[in-house]
Amino acid sequence: MMHILKNTRSAKLPRLAALLVAVAVLGLAGCDDHAGDPKMQIGANPVLPALQQYLMPPIRVAEVVGWGKETPSVPEGLQVHALATGFQHPRSLYVLPNGDVLVVESNGPKAPIYRPKDIITGWVQSFAGAKAKDANRITLLRDTHGDGIPEVRTVFLDHLNSPFGVALIGDSLYVANTDAIVRYPYQEGQTSITAAGTKLTDLPGGPIDHHWTKSMLASPDGSKLYVGVGSNSNVGENGIGAEYERAAIWEVDVASGAHRIFASGVRNPTGLQWEPETGKLWAIANERDEIGPDLVPDYLTSVKDGGFYGWPYSYYGQHLDPRIMPQRPDLVASAIAPDYSLSSHAAPLGLAMYTGAGLPANYRGGAFVGEHGSWNRTPLNGYKVVFVPFSGGKPSGPPQDVVTGFLDESNHARGRPVGLAVDKNGALLIADDVGNTVWRVSGSTPKPAS
Amino acid sequence: MQHHATIAEASFIRDVDLKPARKSRGRPIHRMLVSFSAAYFVGALVTDIVYWRMPDVMWERFSIWLIAAGLIVAGLAAIAYVIDLAGRRRIDRPAWPRVVGYALAVLLALTNAFVHSRDGYTAVVPTGLMLSALVVVVLALTALVARALTNRHRFGV
């Protein structure tokens, strides 16, 4: 039988129990929903089971307990500690050239209610800590000694609108709010920006704004910004009109603000990075829900110019999704299967290609992925930071767990990893939007500050 | 004089006794609510058919809200039914075919609400549409059977 909201706050249990009983009595929960081993869905050819449709899709969110005195676990050769705590929903990180760390504290806009289901969804998200108070600001941390203890902490930019991506080009700092890219003048060493920003371009925002995060990456020559724009629905249920220029990676011209669709059919591209060896664009993406605990695997992929990656019509190439009508066989025929599956519902939300020298040599050239963790499968998946080794510009092996312990023994969430960044000394930084902490992972014999 | 006054008093008391008795034989509250919920469910079938022919999400949203409203009113009807039973209001005999048929329709509509909460086209086609139609068929059959049985009862067949 399904276990609905197995781990939720006890105060909510009577209502949940009533819901469970109501469903069980109706015999709607008869199906056995135990998910397969996520390891079967790793790499280029994940096992894809037949899709299921539910009367009551499984929901399982980890109850939030916080870190207390605990810290995440890392393998031998690494150490981890909190760079700073007490944030309000930190979602992404950016390291400025002088080593200052920008912590983007952000949360999504209020979701409108279009169907009775939206009321339930909002309610479930509140258990997972997704409805935390959002600061909509960027905090600056400065660690001049490189010892992982910041001496300066200031509000760098305030009154933003659900920001996520940040990119510095020359003396212009670009912030991707959920509805626009805004440019601010920046001088090296500045600890706060008070100047009013200039809008570079609008981005698809409300009123639905289902996937609100706008990841952003500057091209190496500084002429273009690449922006990950998530879909406006799970699988097109808000109408295809709501998906205009969404589920896509935009290429924005920095000089004019004009944009074109660089790649499409990527449901929610939450992280963009340049692969260091080939210089190609890579992305992580979150795939669709409600067709089974092992569908559809989230992925890491190279992004081809003009490529179509399937959403909403198909997944992993030509696997059709019956939930979208009218179908588009012409588009499905051209759909590209992503390069590397990260397994289903792991929810990758942070990507960092590692080129630093602070961590052991085996991490060089590979990708760290922050997996925020599942909310709709049993057992839980994700809730960790993994490392995908690369060689020759392609993933070359299974992911290794690098930072774990985000779940305790009873599957309660101490925290959930989101955005990643590599600091000036080559340490890996992790934003934890439930633990409200930024974690710093460094080599266990700390290198002296350069 | 004394005798006359006693008669007047007696007839007055009899009037007071009769009034609430006649009121309790009035139209039960739950009947109106049942009709309302049935109308919502019929509406959902209509919007489902339109969505099936022309899959615009607006129609799908109409359907799920109509089903949800029908279920809420059905819940109120159940409460009213209990009140009517407790208040010994006249409930058409035989009541059980109506109750069973209506309960079946409401359970099907509840299942349909879950189906309609799926994302996209398969929230309606084919399962949701079939359930919407089935709910209306069950409601119609219930009304027909109940009327036939009531008439037979009334005419003493």
Q: What is the mean pLDDT of residues B66-77?
A: 97
Would you say A289 and A57 are in contact if contact means Cβ atoms under 8 Å apart?
A: yes
Hunting for tokens 């039914």 — which residue is that?
Answer: B81
| pLDDT at residue A107 tops 90 | no
Q: Hey, of A59, A117, A211, which one would you mutate to test binding to chain B, going by the most B CBs within 10 A of its CB?
A: A117
The residue-averaged pLDDT of A75-95 equals 96
pLDDT at A391 over 50: yes
What is the per-residue pLDDT for A110? 86
Q: How far apart are CA A429 and CA A423, in angstroms?
A: 7
Q: What is the overall mean pLDDT for chain B?
A: 83
Listed residue (B133, B81, B73, B80) closest to B108, CA to CA: B133
- pLDDT tens for A195-204 read 999 999 999 9
Taking an 8 Å cut-off on Cβ atoms, the answer to whether B117 and A235 are in contact is no
Neighbours of A37 (CB within 10 A): 12
Residue A19 — φ and ψ, nearest 5°?
A: -65, -45
- Maximum Cα interatomic distance, chain A, rounded to a whole number of Å: 66
B-chain residues near A54 (CB < 8 A): 114, 118
DSSP state of A265: -
Name the one residue in this structure whose structure tokens are 């440019």. Answer: A183
Question: What is the distance between the alpha carbons of residues B20 and B16, in angstroms, rounded to a whole number?
Answer: 8
For chain A, give the mean pLDDT.
Answer: 90
- Put simply, whether B119 touches A (Cβ < 8 Å) is yes
pLDDT confidence of residue A123: 80
- pLDDT-based confidence at A307, cuts 50/70/90? very high
Contact B60, B114 (CB under 8 A): no
Range A110-113, long-range pairs (CB < 8 A, 24+ positions): A111/A208, A111/A209, A111/A210, A112/A207, A112/A208
In a domain, B3, yes or no: no
pTM exceeding 0.90: no
Name the closest residue on chain B to residue A23, using Cα atoms.
B111
Domains present along chain A, CATH in parentheses: 1-32 (no CATH), 39-443 (2.120.10.30)
- In our burial notation (b when 16+ CB lie closer than 10 A, e otherwise), range A387-408 reads bbbbeeeebeeebeebbebbbe
ipTM comes to 0.84
Closest CA to A119 of B135, B33, B113, B78: B113
Please indicate, yes or no, if residue B8 is contained in any of the structural domains.
Answer: no
DSSP conformation class of A77: T
In a domain, B2, yes or no: no
Closest Cα to residue B118, out of B50, B67, B75?
A: B67
Contact residues, chain A, for B111 at CB < 8 Å: 26, 28, 55
CB contact under 8 A, B57 and A237: yes
Backbone φ, ψ for residue A250 (5° rounding): -85, 150
Cα separation, A299 vs A317, in Å, equals 13
Q: Which two tokens stand for residue B14?
A: 């009899």
CB-closest option in A28, A322, A323 to B111 = A28
pLDDT band at A125 (very low <50, low <70, confident <90, very high): confident
pLDDT at A426 over 60: yes
Task: Give the Å distances, CA to CA, from B52 to A30, A116, B55, B68, B129.
Answer: 29, 21, 6, 19, 8
A192, A203, B34, B82, B113 from A154: Cα distances, Å? 7, 28, 62, 63, 50
Residue B72: domain span = 27-155
Within 8 A of A234 by CB-CB distance, chain B residues are: 119-120
> What does the alpha-carbon distance between residue A270 and residue A164 come to, in Å, rounded to a whole number?
9
- Of the candidates A400, A348, A408, the one whose C-alpha atom is nearest the C-alpha of residue A374 is A348
d(CA A316, CA A46): 9
Q: Is the pLDDT of residue A331 over 70?
A: yes
- Burial class of A364 by CB neighbour count within 10 A (0 to 12, 13 to 18, 19+): middle
pLDDT digits (tens, 9 = 90+) for B109-153: 999 999 999 999 999 999 999 999 999 999 999 999 988 887 776
CA A442 to chain centre: 22
- Residue A121: phi and psi, rounded to 5, are -60, -45
- Of B64, B113, B119, Cβ closest to residue A290: B119
Q: Of the given ranges (A41-50, A105-114, A150-159, A334-343), which has the lowest mean pLDDT?
A: A105-114
Average pLDDT of the segment spanning A270-279: 97
Domain total for chain B? 1
What pLDDT is recorded for position B91? 60
Is the Cβ pair B122, A322 closer than 8 Å?
Answer: yes
CA A41 to chain CA centroid, Å, is 19
Residue of A nearest to B72 (CA): A116
- Given a cut of 70, is residue A448 above it in pLDDT? no
The pLDDT value recorded for residue B20 is 46
Q: Which residue in A359, A356, A409, A422 sits closest to A383, CA to CA? A: A409
Report chain A residues touching chain B, CB-CB < 8 A: 26, 28, 53-56, 114-117, 233-239, 290, 312, 321-326
- Give the closest residue to A359 by CA, choosing from A450, A274, A446: A446
DSSP state, residue A314:
E
CA nearest to A359, candidates A443, A425, A422, A424: A443
Task: Indicate the SS3 state at residue A431.
Answer: strand
Range A352-376 average pLDDT:
95
Domain containing B97 — which CATH number?
Answer: 1.20.120
Structural domain contains residue B15: no
User: What is the Cα–Cα distance from B125 to B147, expressed in whole angstroms?
Assistant: 33
Q: Where are the beta strands (DSSP E) in A101-221?
A: 101-105, 137-142, 152-157, 165-169, 172-176, 180-185, 198-202, 214-218
Q: What is the CA B86 to chain-centroid distance, rounded? A: 18
Q: Does A296 sit behind a cis peptide bond, omega within 30 degrees of 0 on the bond before it?
A: yes
Least confident of A158-162, A376-380, B3-7, B23-27: B3-7
Distance CA A85, CA A108 (A): 21
Interface residue B114 vs chain A (CB under 8 A): yes
Predicted local confidence at residue A29, as pLDDT: 42
Sign of CA dihedral A69, A72, A76, A77: negative
Maximum alpha-carbon separation in chain B: 84
| pLDDT over 80 (residue B25) | no
d(CA A286, CA A347): 6
Please say if the pLDDT value at position A321 is more than 50: yes
* Best A25, A54, A55, A233 residue to mutate vs chain B (most B CBs within 10 Å): A55
How confident is residue B16, by pLDDT bands cut at 50, 70 and 90? very low
B122 touches chain A (CB under 8 A): yes
Smallest CA-to-CA distance from A38 within A381, A440, A402 is with: A381
Q: How many angstroms separate the CA of residue B69 from the nearest CA in chain A? A: 10
CA-nearest residue of chain A to B52?
A325
- Optimal mutation site among B118, B124, B131, interface A, most CBs of chain A within 10 A: B118
Task: Considering only the beta carbons, identify the residue of A28, A55, A323 that sits closest to B120.
Answer: A323
Question: How many pairs of residues across A and B have Cβ atoms under 8 Å apart?
Answer: 60
Is residue A440's pLDDT more than 60? Answer: yes
Dihedral (Cα; B63, B67, B69, B73), 10-degree rounding: 150
Q: Read off the pLDDT band of A229 (50, 70, 90).
A: very high
Residue B1 is assigned to a structural domain of this protein: no
Tell whether the model's pLDDT for residue A169 goes beyond 70: yes
Residue B9: inside a domain? no
